[in-house]
A and B are shown apart, each in its own frame.
Chain A
């Protein structure tokens, strides 16, 4: 019997605005507990919310990027529940009329592209953080996060396996960073995922779903979904029934446990937030937001492939973030002769070194202009590619120009045929046995002689010229 998995995802994305959703408090991560609070986000008596319009603009921008419909008038609602880290006893959110509806995202799948529907994006405020660990039976509450603006992005149940779910999340993760609407740092809780998972036999109606919470890395998301699918199939095949419930995934144990059943589910008693008028965006404002939209990853990837002739792999690597793409284009602008060489050096050499040093492209000690300077020296045969790698190491360490390093270390490539000939003659004299064998027809020894000459030149000899002169001189 074959089973089909059905997955829908709800992603909470923290909007990277300077201030909270409804008050002027800072959203900076990592401050001492409760230092970024005010009477509004503490839920003090008589305090009122005032909408952060930057958060609204960023939500609308995200909506445009997923080809969604932007509701020019959306509404805020109160979602009521009691928890100590929810100061007002209700969360301000958007229920019947969210800011964005009816969008989609195209994701790569093994046999091409698949379109995943996005039901809605609504704005809401985050709750604070409860801490129970190691406090001797007491709980502490940090309200720095209380009121931080979030977008909840809700997909249609369009994904059919964990890999598709992960592909969708990665695509979304890349998008929100591209749009600069979120830092989307998963370790800081800026990109949090809940998954609704059900299974059914092919052709049957949707099965009962379980909601998985607390999925905080792409790896755990895949594991959690696969665990859940296996659990549900086994349950049904053993004659049981899946119950609608919320389950918490434990990434350490690699299993999930029930958090609350449908019967225990909250009645959130949603109703319109009377403290906030409807959120209105004029067509003019929306047009301005659209005009400010950066080139999106998909379009950028395609352009890199066609305009610069990059492989799809390199195009993918260099469009992972907007910073990378911008950096690559500055590199090409400074070294227009060979965009592929630019891609190779940036993707393979520079990014590798940055990663080893715990840096990223924004903090790179080598600027695009300087990397171009290095590539120019390869292009004009001043140095070989091999030497260039050493030069790049030195540039990473000192931040100097390639030329200065080449000059000071005397790394200039030797292309003088006289000097190369001298070296070849010496190598021939030092290795009479190999010379004899070569001349007797052992062609394989060519590589040996090339190596010996390059070694003698400390790698600075022009390899093409070494080959050419050896061919001539070895044959006698």
Chain B
């Protein structure tokens, strides 16, 4: 039961085999048992979860089931919720309670979902290992010495260990896909503008996008369908996005006629040999399903990480200015004057990675440096977008490894930010281009999961879901579970 998918659980709930309260109780018990070892949840209020489950059962009895009726979904600590704290895993927001729900939280509530605790993450989503969290690192269920990836590490670990059947994450440069890959689950970043950002604590506004982290492709589609759609309160959420049938897209079982692009820049020296083998094997499986593998080139890929680490910190440097100790969040004790209040509050409240990015961003935007850094990075961004447009003239989707390496050890890269930044080398480019991407499990190296990344043209999440669903139906990587969490067969 615990390693069931959302769709399986939905079937059981709809059939009356189990109530939402019973389901919630089972996951609460699992979370209570396993969370101390994983540190996936930073806030979990059993009473609140059960109250929602009871309300869901009552709603079902009175009105019938909504699309996610009674299904527990964990929430990354970056989503503002009216109930419980929203802290972005930062000391500067310790104890902060938002007086509003993020738009996607409202959508989940309207779909009948049961909000199941706040999950661990890198502070302000800045990190690829969940080690920058003010609440301590989260651990990978497949190997507790390893990181779960980041920044949505808590959501990934909680779903991988089946402490919850699904979770929401956010993805600015790979923060859904990379941890999904490193913990053996499915994670999808929708097209920029598909999902409202309102009420999601901003990291880099032009890159941030919320998405599902699940045990199957269809589950990702279920949540994607629930949270997508125009929001007049987010001027970057797109009003006239093409209509799409999320669930029908997952019915695909073969790849007849599908042209899959294999970009040479994503199969590079220095990547883990086991990862390369796993992805090559996955592509061979796709060929067997009828796909045509086409070698392509995305020539500006090598500049993506550099451009990203100018644009994202620049936006972040402004986005994080509001944490100034004036209206909410941490304020230092007994400031001498205004400047002292600002500097000490922010010094005490922010962790070192966040400070590094604020400084980087301020530098890149400074007068005299703007043209050389920010402006140049935006030009690179245009080139990268063009690379993808060119590629999609020849192919339907692109397949790559999600991460060049499997999960690494906790502490292994914390002293070397540049190496850490390369963890997102395969995921960043599509955030810069605003494209949808999906990572799904496709193998293992030394007992650690490997992720296969799909990239589709803008607004073609159905292409991602179709390819991933076909691959999932032909292989059994999505059914693998980590040892020690009661899922052994």
Distance between A162 CB and nearest chain B CB, rounded to angstroms: 32
Question: How long is the Cα–Cα vector from A88 to B205 in the complex, in angstroms?
Answer: 14
Q: By the criterion CB–CB under 8 Å, are A275 and B236 in contact?
A: yes
Kindly list 8 other residue pairs between chains A and B, CB separation below 8 angstroms, not including A46-B202, A84-B338, A271-B365.
Answer: A45-B98, A45-B202, A46-B199, A47-B198, A80-B321, A269-B370, A274-B205, A275-B202
**Distance (whole angstroms) from the CB of B363 to the closest CB of chain A:** 9
Q: Which of B86, B204, B366 contacts A45 (CB 8 A)?
A: B86
Cβ of B220 under 8 Å from chain A: no
Assembled-state Cα–Cα distance A80/B364 (Å)? 13
Interface assignment of B327: CB less than 8 Å from any CB of chain A: yes
Known contacts A269-B365, A271-B365, A44 near B328 by CB under 8 Å: yes
A451 lies within 8 A of chain B by Cβ: no
Shortest CB distance A209–B (Å): 19
Q: How far is the CA of A43 from the CA of B321 in the complex (A)?
A: 10
With the chains together, A90 CA to B316 CA distance in Å? 12
Q: Which of A51, A84, A270 has the most CB of B within 10 A?
A: A84
Please indicate the chain B residues that have their CB under 8 angstroms from the CB of A50 in the complex. 232-235
- Chain B interface category by residue count: 35 or more
How far is the CB of B326 from the nearest CB of chain A, in Å?
5
A189 within 8 A of B: no
Closest 8 CB pairs of A and B: A89-B321, A274-B205, A269-B365, A274-B206, A46-B199, A43-B322, A45-B201, A46-B80
Binding site for A on B (CB under 8 A): 80, 86, 88, 93, 96, 98-100, 102, 197-202, 204-206, 232-236, 314-315, 317-318, 320-322, 324, 326-328, 338, 342, 362, 365-367, 370, 374
Chain A nearest Cβ from B201, distance in angstroms: 5
Residue of B nearest to A268 (CB): B367
Measured CB to CB, the closest approach of chain B to A313, in angstroms, equals 50
Q: Does A259 contact B (CB under 8 A)?
A: no
A446 CB-CB contact with B under 8 Å: no
Asked whether, in the complex, the Cβ of A271 is within 8 Å of the Cβ of B374, the reply is yes
Interface residue ranges, A against B (CB under 8 Å): 39, 42-51, 78, 80, 82, 84, 87-90, 141, 267, 269-271, 274-277
In the complex, residue of chain B having the shortest beta-carbon distance to the beta carbon of A271: B365
Do A46 and B201 have beta carbons less than 8 Å apart?
yes
Nearest-Cβ distance from residue B136 to partner chain A, whole angstroms: 22
Chain B residues near A47 (CB-CB < 8 A)? 198-199
Nearest CB on A from B380, distance (A): 15
Closest to B238 in A: A277
Q: How far is the CA of A333 from the CA of B202 in the complex (A)?
A: 60
Tell me, in angstroms, the Cα distance from A233 to B374 when the chains sit together.
Answer: 42
Contact A269-B367, Cβ < 8 Å, known A46-B80, A46-B102, A46-B200: yes
A267-B318 contact given A43-B327, A44-B328, CB 8 Å threshold: no
**Least CB separation from B206: chain A residue:** A274
A298 to chain B, nearest CB (A): 38
Distance of A90 Cα from B321 Cα, bound (Å):
7
In the bound complex, do residue A45 and residue B321 qualify as a contact, i.e. CB atoms below 8 Å apart? no
Contact B342 A48 (CB under 8 A): no
| Contact status B327-A87, CB under 8 Å | yes
B238 to chain A, nearest CB (A): 10
B76, chain A: closest CB distance, angstroms: 12
Flag if A49 contacts B235 (CB, 8 Å): yes
Whether A45 lies near B80 (C-beta < 8 A) is yes
Chain B residues with CB below 8 A from A87, complex form: 322, 326-327
Most buried by B among A42, A50, A90, A271: A271
Known contacts A48-B198, A267-B367, A275-B205; decide if A89 and B233 are in contact (CB<8 Å).
Answer: no
Q: Are A48 and B234 in contact (CB under 8 A)?
A: yes
By the criterion CB–CB under 8 Å, are B236 and A141 in contact? no
- State whether B98 touches A44 (Cβ < 8 A): yes
